[in-house]
Structure 1
Amino acid sequence: MALLSWPAELPQRMLVDAYNRTGRDGVEATDMKAGPPKTRLRTSSAVEPLQGAVEVRTAGLARFRRFYNEELKFGSKLFWIRDQAFDGQPLTTGDGSILTNADGEPLLQSAHWLVMFTPGSPPRETNLRGDEWRISFNLIILP
């Protein structure tokens, strides 16, 4: 069975003020009696935590609930989502010039993350006013 993707009916970009990505932590440190801690690689497949949010109308909220509850079985399945930093950005050369095709149109990056909802941290829904909702969530970006 193929992996699911973030629904096209939902916003493809997370809100800037809610986006928070933490780097991978695959190092284990041991305190020593004196001097700096001793470190070693704990895992080469550490995950990256990500916090995000989108704003939708009531129809978008219903679509998100169906995606999370039914399609992802309450967030237990993996899915693809656009890389929020790089997907859709132009490719550039070393000096920053934008690469283009034969018609002069910029070549755009295509980048996606394989993610899952953070176990034990279900999405939060906030009614902003009337038909407007904010859905906040925690994801784990897999290596």
Structure 2
Amino acid sequence: MTVPTWPASLPRPERNTFQKVALEARLKRRIDAGTPGYRLRFSGVPYLVNMSLLLTRAGKSVFDLFHEDTTRWGTLPFWMPDPTTDGWAMTDTDGNPLFDGSGNPIRMAGTWLCMFGDGNPTETVQGIEFRKTFSLVVLP
């Protein structure tokens, strides 16, 4: 079985709705007295990401087909470009972009293995565009 890939034609997530948080990886130990103790619940920590996309009518169709058919209503994992890394310019410590030998900016790359999170994506209409809001679980 091949793992599907997020459609390249879909835009980057909106910045103002993007939220990423690590799921609780600690398990509190039972103690009778003193300071609380913790241990890791699991070795790989998944992340919960909330985001939205502003889509044209064609983009809405691409998203709907991907969610409903390709991932079978969100039950299958998929590869997605990491929106916080993939395609961004690599910079030095002062924030200046780095260039290769040909003068092209060096771009970072990153991908997530993820699944759609709890609940189905919600859709709202914004003028002639559609906003899809959804959550993802980024697998470790």
**TM-score with structure 1 setting the length:** 0.87
The residue aligned with 1:103 is 102
**8 A contact 2:78–2:113 mirrored in 1:** yes
Residue 53 (1) aligns with residue 22 (2):
no
Cα deviation for residue 24 of structure 1 reads 4.0
Give the alignment of 1:120-139 within 5 angstroms.
120-129=118-127, 131-139=128-136
Question: What SS does the corresponding residue of 2:114 show, helix, strand or coil?
Answer: strand
The residue aligned with 1:74 is 73
The residue aligned with 2:15 is 16
Residues 27-55 of structure 1 deviation map (CA, whole Å, 9 limit, x = unaligned)? 10135333321111110122110000001
Distance between the aligned counterparts of 2:39 and 2:107, measured in 1? Answer: 38
Residue 38 (1) aligns with residue 44 (2):
no
**8 A contact 2:22–2:45 mirrored in 1:** no
Q: Which runs of 5+ in 2 are unaligned?
A: none
Give the alignment of 1:74-93 within 5 angstroms.
74-93=73-92
Aligned residues: 140
Distance between the aligned counterparts of 1:75 and 1:122, measured in 2? Answer: 8
State which drifts further: 16-25 or 67-76.
16-25
Amino acid at match of 1:10: L
Q: Which runs of 5+ in 1 are unaligned?
A: none
Amino acid at match of 1:3: V
Distance between the aligned counterparts of 2:120 and 2:115, measured in 1? Answer: 11
Distance between the aligned counterparts of 2:8 and 2:92, measured in 1? Answer: 31
Distance between the aligned counterparts of 1:132 and 1:43, measured in 2? Answer: 41
Instruction: Give the direction of change, closer, same or farther, for the CA distance of 1:98–1:59 in structure 2 (3 Å limit).
Output: closer
Amino acid at match of 2:6: W
The residue aligned with 1:2 is 2
Cα deviation for residue 26 of structure 1 reads 1.5
Distance between the aligned counterparts of 1:104 and 1:61, measured in 2? Answer: 37
**8 A contact 2:78–2:115 mirrored in 1:** yes
Question: What SS does the corresponding residue of 1:46 show, helix, strand or coil?
Answer: coil
